[in-house]
Chain A
Amino acid sequence: MSQDTEKKGLWARLSGGQAKQKLLAFASLIALILIFTALKPEAFMTQDNIIGILQSTTVIGVLAIASTFIIITSGIDLSVGVLMTFCAVMGGVFLVNWHWPLPLGVLGAVVVGALTGCVSGLTITRLKVPPFIATLGMMMLLKGLSLIITSARPIYFNDIEGFDQIALGSLIGDFVPALQIPNGVLIMFVMAGICAVILNRTALGRYTFALGSNEEAVRLSGVDVNRWKVIIYSLGGGICGVAGLLIASRLNSAQPALGQGYELDAIAAVVIGGTSLSGGVGTILGTIIGAFIMSVLINGLRIMSVAQEWQMVLTGLIIILAVYTDNLRREKK
């Protein structure tokens, strides 16, 4: 308890409180890494493999960041995976079909994400549809739209110069040739940093926690609950737009049938990282750790030649275990 009342340093404030649960998640991550390194040292701990892990965490990591905000408000967004695809598709429409300049097309994809998030938010606040249903409906809607717009065919970015560099190029590698870390990874970490600052140091972040903690108290405090909920869902949508660009860039194409299922991985990452589905608590750092736990687990299991079906079984068990231990910890308080 004295932890809460000590004067907090910059690091503590940036990363948000709840040190204990993050420590647990981080310890689990280290444990996993050590286990796999011990079991398959020559395959696991290579630069290629590490970069592979980083690469495979990017998209889920960014989606999980978007979901973190929404879950902290005790809401849920089931559309994040499909929204990512929709933004990728719209990016394709802007850049490939309408020949917009690269920066404008990129911005456009993110704006599409934000606007769609805004619509979800309005559905929840004005039409009073519960978040689960509103975003479920949105997910199906967007899936259909993506297929309609593309006539169920992928949009290829081959002619767009520099597009694949967004995720696959390496800015860091240009400066430090030994570290060929893809841009996508860099973007994920930068987004995490920005969002951690937003969550912990701005009014938007404060209201995010407040809404999840006691929405009625926020309303009675004179804060415009509806307005801020819409803003939070719009922010989440915009971040999904970034994820859409990352995945389109990695595949150098917008695949309209992709995306569904990613939202569950995102929610899993959020929950493993210590954010509670009932709202009021959560950290970006925890979410990133949660995303890495999942990708390290899947990568390690693959290297050990565990069949993909069993990978899924194990991941499911880990998610349940993570929430269960979190419940136990909460009940002790």
Chain B
Amino acid sequence: MTALIAVKNLSKSFPGVKALQKVQFDLQAGEVHALMGENGAGKSTLMKILAGVYTRDEGEMLLDGVPVEIASPAHAQSLAIGIIHQELYLMPHLTAAQNIFLGREPKGKVGLFLDEDQLNSDTQALFDRMNLHMPPDTRIGNLTVARQQMVEIAKALSFKSRVLIMDEPTAALNNAEIGELFRIIRQLREEGVGIVYISHKMDEIQRIADRITVMRDGRYINTVPAQTPMAEIIAMMVGRTLESNEKSIPNTSANEVLLDVRGLNRGRAIRDVSFTLRRGEILGFAGLMGAGRTEVARAVFGADAIDSGEVRVRGQLLTLKTPRDAVQAGIGYLSEDRKHFGLATGMDVESNITLPSLRRWLKWGVFLNQSAIHAIGQEMVDKLRIKTPSLTQVARLLSGGNQQKVVIAKWLVQDCEVLIFDEPTRGIDVGAKSEIYKLVNDLAAAGKAIIVISSELPEVLHLSHRILVMCEGRITGNVSALDATQESLMALATRREVQAIPLH
């Protein structure tokens, strides 16, 4: 049977990164085809090419057996290919209905004016089909991330696509909502729609998928039936069989408290968050997308204002107005979005490494001491084994893993005692990942206090000594990594409207 969509020998590169190398993939009508792989495997890139967001560098793409060039998102839509992106692409100032039907607004009798009533009732019909109880004219900016994700799903459904790509569609959803989504997916499958389902949640894949394709480091590995044992699939994803997690967690309960956060509040995003962090401890922050972990990190770092709350470093109360206050106190923050907030991508490696501590590398307090900068840059490159052709290589051209190491280096030069890692291995290949893990452990052993924020539950379990779980701005759990499982963490991560657990 001719595949709905088939891809052969597809390659795509971005500056400094070979995102896809000779990848193959096919989708049959009436199947749910899961696409699995670690962060940076190339899943989203491949799907964005199918959806017309990127264009491929080489390879073939066939729609119903006919070669095709998909030039733009509008073109993909006209070919009945729909996509739910991992990032939410919504207009916060517009309502849900206005977002869903943007570009396809129903017009009134004259054909000139928009029929807002029709727009809202069409949207209501969509919501009813999804059992979603929400007024269609709610402003997106007023919705929680979970509801925004449901709006994205509704939008994709409104297109009546033949090929529907879902990229991590349940990142912010609870079990009931996931159940609803799966009900819809099964319905679509019966109607002959081909669905690509990208997720790293094993249990979901097993529930819903027919076939699974595994990618690793931009390459196609294999396509197997969904009943294949998980251990085999994981082995394909990481390229080796994982040893059992024999982890020893050091006893840090007697160590000095480096970071003490009490009663942090900011609107709906952060609600009464309190926690402590001791020297040598790795505290994991788990939770769904939109849970508030990055918000807490940025608040502690002084990057965003807070409504109330106290942050103490080594017993000293901080007045946190700007990140400068946090950095002076010894807190370093490696942000979620490296390229936008962590690195000056247009500047070179040694400039990035010396950026927060530039004061120390000045001659007579004014001029840049190039040789000192060069020396410390080299020291860090050696210490962290950063792969770069030279110290003056532009940061943008380094691979994800090495970019992350540059960011870590800059905070080490600054002598930070508290390090907050936000999604440290996002977009990093498997090999570099384990190096980052080792680095984090070494830093903790050397006496730093570390917070690791991650959406990958296996990663949180692997790295952390203790795990804080957040849901919709509140802390819903504080557990030892030894006692926690992916299921128990997930349960805590989806506990909405529950009293915050006071902890010290």
Bound complex: CA A13 to CA B120 (Å): 14
B91 near A217 (CB under 8 angstroms)? yes
Bound complex: CA A219 to CA B137 (Å): 22
A218 near B114 (CB under 8 angstroms)? no
* B405 interface residue (CB < 8 Å to A): no
> For chain B residues 124-177, which have a beta carbon within 8 Å of chain A?
135, 137-139, 141-142
Q: How far is the CB of A229 from chain B (nearest CB, A)?
A: 14
Q: How far is the CB of B102 from chain A (nearest CB, A)?
A: 5
- Among the listed B102, B113, B305, which residue makes an inter-chain contact with A210, where contact means beta carbons less than 8 Å apart? B102
User: Which of B30-38, B92-100, B320-328 lies at the binding interface?
Assistant: B92-100
* B378 interface residue (CB < 8 Å to A): no
Known: A197-B113, A202-B113, A210-B102. A220 touches B73 (CB 8 A): yes
Known: A197-B113, A209-B93. A221 touches B142 (CB 8 A): no
- Among the listed A4, A202, A205, A223, which residue makes an inter-chain contact with B103, where contact means beta carbons less than 8 Å apart? A223
* B122 interface residue (CB < 8 Å to A): no
B92 near A4 (CB under 8 angstroms)? no
Q: How far is the CB of A22 from chain B (nearest CB, A)?
A: 15
> For chain B residues 80-126, which have a beta carbon within 8 Å of chain A?
85, 89-95, 98-99, 102-103, 105, 107, 112-114, 116
Q: How far is the CB of A302 from chain B (nearest CB, A)?
A: 38
- Please encode chain A, from 210 to 231, with 1 for each CB lying within 8 Å of some chain B CB and 0 for all others: 1011101111111110000000
* A317 interface residue (CB < 8 Å to B): no
Bound complex: CA A11 to CA B238 (Å): 60
Bound complex: CA A244 to CA B92 (Å): 36
* B39 interface residue (CB < 8 Å to A): no
Q: How far is the CB of A310 from chain B (nearest CB, A)?
A: 35
Q: Which residues of A contact B77 (CB under 8 A)?
A: 222
Known: A197-B113, A209-B94, A223-B74. A5 touches B137 (CB 8 A): yes
Known: A210-B94, A221-B103. A201 touches B73 (CB 8 A): no
Bound complex: CA A217 to CA B305 (Å): 28
Q: Which residues of A contact B85 (CB under 8 A)?
A: 220
Q: Which residues of A contact B103 (CB under 8 A)?
A: 218, 221-223
Q: Which residues of A contact B138 (CB under 8 A)?
A: 4-5
Q: How far is the CB of B64 from chain A (nearest CB, A)?
A: 21
> For chain B residues 236-275, which have a beta carbon within 8 Å of chain A?
267
* B53 interface residue (CB < 8 Å to A): yes
B94 near A213 (CB under 8 angstroms)? yes
Q: Which residues of B contact A1 (CB under 8 A)?
A: 142
Chain B interface residue bracket vs A: 20 to 34
Q: Which residues of A contact B112 (CB under 8 A)?
A: 202
Bound complex: CA A15 to CA B412 (Å): 55
> For chain B residues 207-236, which have a beta carbon within 8 Å of chain A?
none
* A280 interface residue (CB < 8 Å to B): yes
Q: Which residues of B contact A220 (CB under 8 A)?
A: 53, 73, 85, 89
A213 near B93 (CB under 8 angstroms)? yes
Q: Which residue of chain A lies nearest to B267 when distances are taken between CB atoms in the complex? A: A333
Bound complex: CA A222 to CA B78 (Å): 9
B73 near A216 (CB under 8 angstroms)? no
Q: Which residues of A contact B76 (CB under 8 A)?
A: 222
- Please encode chain A, from 1 to 27, with 1 for each CB lying within 8 Å of some chain B CB and 0 for all others: 100110010000100000000000000
Q: Which residues of B contact A99 (CB under 8 A)?
A: none
Q: Which residues of A contact B116 (CB under 8 A)?
A: 8, 13, 201
A4, A209, A281 pick with most chain B CB within 10 angstroms: A4
* A307 interface residue (CB < 8 Å to B): no
Bound complex: CA A220 to CA B139 (Å): 20
Bound complex: CA A203 to CA B305 (Å): 37
- Among the listed B74, B98, B139, B141, which residue makes an inter-chain contact with A222, where contact means beta carbons less than 8 Å apart? B74
A203 near B94 (CB under 8 angstroms)? no
> For chain A residues 296-333, which have a beta carbon within 8 Å of chain B?
331, 333
Q: Which residues of A contact B137 (CB under 8 A)?
A: 4-5, 8
Bound complex: CA A217 to CA B87 (Å): 10
- Among the listed A203, A205, A207, A212, which residue makes an inter-chain contact with B93, where contact means beta carbons less than 8 Å apart? A212
A213 near B89 (CB under 8 angstroms)? no
- Please encode chain B, from 39 to 73, with 1 for each CB lying within 8 Å of some chain A CB and 0 for all others: 00000000000000100000000000000000011
Mostly, the A contact residues are helix
* A153 interface residue (CB < 8 Å to B): no
* A206 interface residue (CB < 8 Å to B): yes
Number of interface residues of A (CB under 8 A): 30
Q: Which residue of chain B lies nearest to A331 when distances are taken between CB atoms in the complex? A: B305
B90 near A206 (CB under 8 angstroms)? no
Q: Which residues of B contact A5 (CB under 8 A)?
A: 135, 137-138
Known: A13-B116, A202-B112, A220-B85. A4 touches B95 (CB 8 A): yes
B73 near A222 (CB under 8 angstroms)? yes
Known: A5-B137, A223-B103. A209 touches B91 (CB 8 A): yes
Q: How far is the CB of B113 from chain A (nearest CB, A)?
A: 4
Q: Which residue of chain B lies nearest to A197 when distances are taken between CB atoms in the complex? A: B113
Q: Which residue of chain A lies nearest to B113 when distances are taken between CB atoms in the complex? A: A201
Q: How far is the CB of A95 from chain B (nearest CB, A)?
A: 31
> For chain B residues 178-228, which have a beta carbon within 8 Å of chain A?
none
Bound complex: CA A201 to CA B85 (Å): 29
Q: Which residues of A contact B141 (CB under 8 A)?
A: 333
Q: Which residue of chain B lies nearest to A205 when distances are taken between CB atoms in the complex? A: B114
B73 near A219 (CB under 8 angstroms)? yes
> For chain B residues 382-429, which have a beta carbon within 8 Å of chain A?
none
Bound complex: CA A216 to CA B77 (Å): 16
Bound complex: CA A100 to CA B74 (Å): 44
Q: Which residues of B contact A281 (CB under 8 A)?
A: 93
Q: How far is the CB of A118 from chain B (nearest CB, A)?
A: 21
B92 near A280 (CB under 8 angstroms)? yes
Q: Which residues of A contact B107 (CB under 8 A)?
A: 203
Interface residues, chain B, with chain A CB atoms under 8 Å away: 53, 72-74, 76-77, 85, 89-95, 98-99, 102-103, 105, 107, 112-114, 116, 135, 137-139, 141-142, 267, 305
Task: Given contacts A210-B102, A280-B93, list 7 more A-B pairs with CB under 8 A.
Answer: A8-B137, A201-B113, A212-B93, A214-B89, A217-B91, A218-B91, A222-B74
Closest A-B pairs by Cβ, 9 of them: A213-B91, A222-B74, A217-B89, A280-B93, A213-B93, A223-B103, A222-B77, A201-B113, A214-B91
Could you pull out 29 A-B pairs where Cβ atoms are within 8 angstroms?
Answer: A4-B137, A5-B135, A5-B138, A201-B113, A201-B116, A202-B112, A202-B114, A203-B107, A206-B98, A206-B114, A209-B91, A209-B94, A210-B91, A210-B94, A213-B91, A214-B89, A214-B90, A216-B89, A217-B99, A218-B91, A219-B73, A220-B53, A220-B89, A221-B102, A221-B103, A222-B72, A222-B76, A223-B74, A333-B267
